[in-house]
């Protein structure tokens, strides 16, 4: 559980979501289980909490005795008769014979209750949240002192609320001093995102109590307490493990901590460190901003605050900035902080006046809730349908439901809308019922569709958004603010089924996105879209052929306070053929998706926009692999763990990733590329809708929508191995057996000395069975000498003529148009060396039909003999072709081996040649 915490209460101000006295007088709302009209009666529900425009009194002021007394909290004007999970009460004691507490609990509970307020003989004031019990009732009593009290309902929580309010608040206590102390709040699960606490302080001295989350800074403002015992409601930021920090400004104090309610992280509530909204000067009416101030945004609907005034002062609070008419709150201060729930009015200001003192008072904000403008909900339950909140459900295991003693009884055949302990909304039918003891009830249930439980459903969740392309939606409503509509889940993990002997990949799948849903059952319209990002990672290594499939497991996420859950189910298959060698597969992909379906009785309108990326670190070597990923997005009531999925609206967005070495036939140069990360990832995306489409929402509609597939796209082209550097060839010899040159030969002789340098163009090379090819530039320098001699007698040879041929050539060789194999002439095949293995390497000095120029210089040493020596001149020359062979080719990342070769050309005299490799092997991106 993170440190993010939300405030106590939500308000719904949209007209269709607000209960007003006038609406209550004209709308019949009854207990569905008892008696209902033929089509039920509409329940207008919306956010997590709804405040009343005018607090509703539970009868006139009266003496509250020591015995539990039952009150019907659904009777006051503005509170519906059904569908109420809890109420927010404030109470004021005007007089009492002694100090004590007024306690509250739901009807049917056997708990000791929780304090509504603490009082002294001079009076007292407080606020609490109480679960509504059977027949819409709560119970009140006093601990002593016969107080005269007035109790009001200031807000109510619908059964669909994301807040959990239990029968009896979890409680702990701590001795708190001037040194900060860490206290673990009981009964708060890890999934909680907000916690509403009641802090009751008992001390002989007045002081200030600070509360804050572990790891955060202590807020400057705190909760003021007088002497004796007093309580205040705080929106606490709870850290990991449910811990908070407490500190007293002076002396020691005993603090009781009760959890009135908590909500998950996706609620619209937000906690803020205690911040000062305003300082109230005595005797003045001040218009105080309660939004766009002290860290409270303008979109806030309610502010949870406390006001601290000197003991004996009269405090009045109006619901607007005028300060006229009857105040919403009016009490005598006792010097302690007093909690108030402040709906944000038009203009975002309220009026506050403090009299009967000369000292200043302080109004402090503890948190707020945002407008749930992105959610609207109207339910019309059928006869026998019960709406049950979190606090009504003790457990839901398999198909057995255990109801709390405070829940209304359920009969077989009834339908239930249940928000379980996991926060998910379940729509169920009661099959049989029984007793769990202590007034609790067991119910065997089976899944039901929404249309079976409700005669009408009109709901909106999220913000209508069009696809990122030009595919405009014709009928979407626009302009709604998106508030907390994002959802996310980690979907990968285990349950792979693999072929014998095969190992499953390490796999993870995460999704984050924004859903939108707009349904009107009676009008027969359905509008759904989802826009988000799906990220997957897979790692595998081995040498065996493997084929694996992944068994789907649903992650279910509630859509706000609606009776609908979104279900995200991953599917995946993985196959790899490592070609008999040890291979490694690593791949990361991101799929951005948009899918929508709109139906209003005509032809369905489908929107889709799919694309995907792959990380630059995808690798495969050697072999090939395939990873199919599917994300099934389903809508409907939450699914029971041990029950087959019922009808649901579903869309599957899939991606097929193929990892393989590059295909030479698809390469523009026909290259056979290779390397440990020389991998292509191609991707095909698809979108399909479920066969039982719309049945959970529109039971008479089943659509047949064809699957949509994208064209395959290459997402990733991994780097491939190539070389850079030089290969230097040198060939030296003569036509005299045993002579390297003609320098010491006393007979007619020719010798030659050629050097060819190939400088590789850095980039990927092509590896084929008989060689390695890569573009290069080349230079050729050489000299050939011919000595013409005759026998002069006496053992001497006379040199008649000397002809020297000086050769020079430069050029370049690139990829041939059909370079997978060389052309017959070998004209533009960029072969740099050949041979099948690292132990057998051949290097061709020639560059096909590469040509250079020659300069011929002729010297006539004995012109008097009349021997024709020829003429000097220039011309073209063809490069000689020599093949040099070695048994040691070198290897590794760097090639720097000099290869000394003796090539025997049959009857020809041998040449002495060297081939010097000065190459670096690297990975190169492909163009």
Q: Would you list the DSSP string of 601-668? A: SSS-EEEEEEEEEE-TT-EEESSEEEEEEEEEEEEESPPPTTS---S-EEEEEEEEEEEEPPPGGGST
Do the beta carbons of residue 423 and residue 558 sit within 8 Å?
yes
Task: Please say if the pLDDT value at position 541 is more than 90.
Answer: no
Instruction: Reply yes or no on whether the pLDDT at 60 is more than 70.
Output: yes
User: What residues contact 879, with CB distance under 8 A and at least 6 apart?
Assistant: 754, 756, 780, 807, 809, 845, 846, 847, 850, 851, 852
Instruction: List pLDDT tens digits, range 69-85.
Output: 999 887 676 788 777 88
Instruction: Please write the tens of the pLDDT for every residue from 228-252.
Output: 888 888 887 777 778 888 999 888 8
Q: Which stretch of 45-54, 182-191, 443-452, 750-759 has the lowest confidence by average pLDDT?
A: 45-54
Size (the chain), residues: 927
Question: For residue 146, what are its two tokens?
Answer: 């016969």
Residue 887 above 80 pLDDT?
Answer: no
More confident residue, 276 or 845: 276
Lowest mean pLDDT among 10-24, 380-394, 734-748: 10-24
Residue 313 clears pLDDT 90, i.e. is over it? yes
Mean pLDDT of the 527-540 span = 83
**∠ CA 20-22-24 to the nearest 5 degrees?**
70
Say if residues 594 and 467 touch (Cβ distance below 8 Å).
yes
pLDDT tier, 682 (very low <50, low <70, confident <90, very high otherwise)? confident
Token output for 815: 């990829």
Residue 384 and residue 836: Cα distance in Å, rounded?
82
Distances in Å between the alpha carbon of 860 and those of 474, 752, 799, 805, 871? 98, 20, 9, 15, 10
C-alpha closest to that of 162 among 396, 394, 385, 424: 424
Look at residues 323, 313, 327 and name the one whose alpha carbon lies nearest to residue 288. 323
The residue among 377, 381, 373, 439 whose CA lies nearest residue 81 is 381
pLDDT of residue 3: 29
Take residue 123 and report the two structure tokens written for it: 């009076």
Averaged confidence pLDDT in the chain:
78
CA torsion, points 75, 81, 84, 90, in degrees to nearest 10? -10
Enclosing H/E stretch for 299: none
The two three-digit tokens of residue 439, written as one number: 């007034």
Give dist(CA 594, CA 631) in Å, integer.
12
Q: In this structure, are residues 258 and 219 in contact, taking their beta carbons and an 8 Å threshold? A: no
- 131 strand-pairing partners: 86
The backbone region for 251, taken as left when phi is positive above 0, alpha when psi lies in -120 to 50, beta otherwise, is: left
pLDDT at residue 491 in the model = 60
Q: What is the pLDDT of residue 891?
A: 38
Distance CA 593, CA 603 (A): 23
Alpha-carbon distance 913 to 903, whole Å? 8
Q: Could you report the per-residue pLDDT of 359-409, keeping only the tens digit for each?
A: 999 999 888 877 665 677 888 889 999 988 878 888 888 899 999 888 889
Three-state DSSP class for residue 129: strand
Q: Report the candidate in 102, 288, 296, 259 with the shortest Cα–Cα distance to residue 166.
A: 259
Q: Measured between alpha carbons, how far is 399 from 418 in angstroms, rounded to an integer?
A: 13
**pLDDT, tens digit, for every residue of 563-578?**
888 888 777 888 888 8
Task: Give the pLDDT score at 467.
Answer: 52
Model confidence over 150-176: pLDDT tens digits? 999 998 888 878 788 888 888 999 999
Cβ-based burial of 380 (10 A; exposed 0-12, middle 13-18, buried ≥19):
middle
% pLDDT > 70, the chain: 79
pLDDT number for residue 175: 93
Residue 5, pLDDT above cutoff 80:
no
Residue 438 CA from chain centroid, whole number:
44
846, 832 contact by CB (below 8 A): no
Confidence of residue 788 (pLDDT cuts 50, 70, 90): confident
Residue 474 has pLDDT above 60, yes or no: no
List of residues 6+ apart from 598 with CB closer than 8 A: 473, 474, 475, 476, 526, 527, 528, 604, 605, 607
Greatest mean pLDDT among 15-24, 104-113, 873-882 lies in 104-113
Cis, peptide link before residue 670, omega less than 30° from 0: no
Q: Environment class of residue 146 by beta-carbon count within 10 Å: exposed (0-12), middle (13-18) or buried (19+)?
A: middle
Phi, psi of 895 (to 5 degrees): -105, 115
- CA 369 to chain CA mean position, Å: 24
Position 795 scores a pLDDT of 57
Q: Do the beta carbons of residue 484 and residue 370 sit within 8 Å?
A: yes
Nearest residue to 49 (alpha-carbon basis) of 195, 196, 193, 160: 160
CA atoms within 13 A on the CB side of 876: 4
User: For tokens 């001699």, what's the residue?
Assistant: 789
| Closest alpha carbon to 844 in 749, 762, 758, 739 | 758
pLDDT at 846: 59
Report the percentage of the chain scoring pLDDT > 90: 18
Asked whether the beta carbons of 799 and 838 are under 8 A apart, the reply is no
Rounded to an integer, the average pLDDT of 777-797 is: 79
Phi, psi dihedrals of residue 844, rounded to the nearest 5°: -90, 120
3-state DSSP call for residue 96?
coil
Nearest to 554 by CA among 569, 565, 566, 564: 569
Give tens-digit pLDDT for 326-335: 999 999 998 9
Ramachandran assignment for 386, one of left (phi > 0), alpha (psi -120 to 50 degrees), beta (any other): beta
**pLDDT, tens only, 208-220:** 898 888 888 888 8
pLDDT at 549: 86
Burial of 540 (0-12, 13-18, 19+ CB in 10 A): buried
CB of 885 within 8 A of CB of 836?
no
The neighbour count for residue 668, using CB atoms within 10 Å, is 9
97 and 123 Cβ atoms separated by less than 8 Å: no
- Evaluate if residue 10 carries a pLDDT over 80: no
């Amino acid at each position: 559980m993170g440190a993010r915490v939300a405030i106590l209460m939500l308000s719904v101000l949209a007209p269709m979501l607000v209960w007003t006295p006038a609406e209550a007088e004209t709308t019949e709302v009854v207990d569905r289980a008892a008696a209902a009209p033929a089509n039920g009666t509409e329940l207008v529900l919306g956010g997590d909490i709804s405040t009343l425009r005018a607090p509703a009194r539970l009868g006139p002021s009266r003496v509250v005795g020591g015995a539990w007394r039952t009150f019907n909290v659904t009777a006051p004007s503005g509170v519906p008769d059904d569908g109420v999970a809890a109420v927010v009460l404030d109470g004021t004691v005007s007089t009492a014979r002694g100090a004590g507490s007024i306690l509250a609990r739901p009807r049917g509970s056997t708990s000791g209750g929780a304090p509504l307020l603490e009082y002294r003989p001079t009076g007292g004031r407080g606020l609490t949240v109480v679960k509504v019990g059977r027949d819409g009732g709560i119970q009140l009593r006093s601990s002593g002192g016969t107080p005269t009290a007035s109790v009001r309902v200031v807000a109510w929580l619908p059964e669909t609320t994301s807040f959990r309010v239990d029968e009896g608040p979890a409680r702990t206590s701590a001795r708190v001093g001037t040194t900060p102390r860490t206290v673990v709040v009981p009964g708060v699960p890890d999934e909680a995102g907000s916690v509403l606490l009641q802090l009751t302080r008992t001390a002989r001295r007045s002081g200030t109590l600070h509360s804050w989350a572990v790891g955060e800074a202590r807020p400057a403002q705190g909760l003021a307490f007088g002497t004796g015992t007093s309580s205040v409601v705080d929106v606490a930021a709870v850290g990991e493990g449910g811990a908070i920090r407490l500190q007293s400004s002076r002396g020691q104090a005993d603090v009781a901590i009760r959890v009135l309610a908590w909500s998950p992280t996706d609620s619209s509530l937000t906690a803020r460190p205690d911040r000062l909204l305003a300082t109230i000067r005595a005797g003045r009416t001040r218009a105080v901003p309660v939004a766009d101030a002290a860290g409270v945004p303008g979109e806030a609907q309610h502010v949870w605050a406390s006001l601290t005034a000197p003991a004996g002062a009269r405090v009045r609070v109006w619901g607007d900035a005028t300060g006229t008419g009857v105040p919403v709150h009016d009490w005598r201060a006792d010097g302690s902080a007093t909690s108030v729930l402040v709906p944000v009015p038009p203009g975002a200001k309220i009026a506050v006046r403090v009299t009967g003192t000369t000292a200043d008072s302080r109004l402090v904000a503890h948190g707020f809730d945002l407008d749930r403008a992105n959610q609207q909900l109207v339910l019309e339950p059928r006869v026998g349908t019960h709406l049950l909140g979190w606090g009504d459900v003790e457990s839901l295991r398999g198909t057995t439901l255990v109801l709390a003693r405070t829940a209304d009884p359920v009969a077989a055949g009834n339908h239930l809308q249940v928000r379980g302990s996991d926060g998910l909304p379940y729509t169920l039918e009661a099959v049989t019922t029984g007793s769990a003891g202590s007034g609790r009830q067991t119910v065997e249930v089976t899944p039901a569709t929404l249309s079976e439980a409700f005669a009408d459903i009109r709901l909106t969740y999220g913000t209508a958004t069009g696809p990122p392309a030009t595919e405009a939606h014709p009928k979407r409503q626009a302009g709604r603010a998106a508030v907390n509509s994002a959802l996310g889940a980690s979907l990968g993990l285990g349950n792979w089924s693999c072929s014998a002997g095969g190992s499953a990949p390490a796999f993870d799948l995460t999704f984050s996105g924004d859903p939108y849903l707009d349904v009107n059952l009676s009008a027969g319209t359905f509008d759904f879209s989802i826009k988000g990002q799906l990220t997957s990672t897979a790692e595998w290594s081995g040498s065996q052929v493997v084929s694996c499939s992944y068994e789907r497991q649903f992650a279910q996420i509630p859509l706000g306070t609606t009776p609908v859950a979104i279900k995200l189910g991953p599917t995946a298959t993985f196959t790899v053929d490592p070609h008999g060698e040890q291979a490694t597969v690593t791949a990361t992909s991101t799929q951005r998706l948009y899918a929508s379906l709109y139906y209003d009785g005509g032809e369905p309108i489908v929107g889709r926009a799919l694309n995907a990326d792959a990380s630059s670190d995808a690798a495969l070597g050697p072999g090939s692999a395939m990873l199919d990923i599917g994300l099934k997005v389903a809508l409907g009531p939450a699914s029971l763990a041990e029950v087959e999925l019922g009808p649901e609206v579903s869309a599957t967005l899939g991606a097929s990733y193929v990892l393989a070495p590059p295909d030479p036939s698809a390469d523009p140069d026909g290259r056979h590329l290779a390397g440990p990360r020389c991998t292509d990832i191609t991707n095909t995306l698809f979108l399909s809708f479920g066969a039982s489409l719309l049945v959970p929402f529109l039971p008479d509609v089943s659509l047949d929508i064809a699957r949509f597939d994208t064209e395959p796209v290459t997402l990733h082209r991994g780097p491939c191995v190539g070389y850079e550097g030089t290969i230097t060839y040198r060939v030296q010899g003569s036509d005299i057996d045993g002579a390297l040159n003609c320098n010491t030969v006393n007979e007619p002789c020719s010798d030659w000395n050629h050097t060819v340098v190939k400088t590789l163009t850095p980039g990927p090379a092509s590896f084929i069975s008989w060689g390695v090819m890569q573009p290069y530039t080349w230079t050729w320098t050489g000299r050939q000498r011919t000595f013409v001699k005759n026998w002069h007698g006496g053992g001497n040879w006379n040199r008649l003529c000397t002809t020297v041929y000086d050769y020079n050539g430069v050029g370049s060789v690139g990829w041939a148009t059909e370079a997978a194999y060389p052309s017959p002439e070998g004209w533009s095949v960029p072969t740099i060396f050949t041979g099948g293995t690292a132990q057998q390497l051949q290097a061709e000095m020639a560059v096909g039909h590469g040509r250079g120029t020659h300069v011929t210089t002729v010297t006539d040493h004995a012109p008097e003999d009349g021997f024709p020596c020829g003429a000097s001149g220039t011309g073209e020359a063809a490069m000689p072709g020599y093949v040099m062979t070695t048994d040691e080719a070198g290897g590794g990342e760097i090639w720097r081996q000099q290869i000394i070769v003796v090539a025997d050309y049959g009857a020809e005299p041998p040449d002495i040649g060297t081939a010097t490799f000065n190459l670096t092997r690297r990975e190169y991106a492909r163009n």
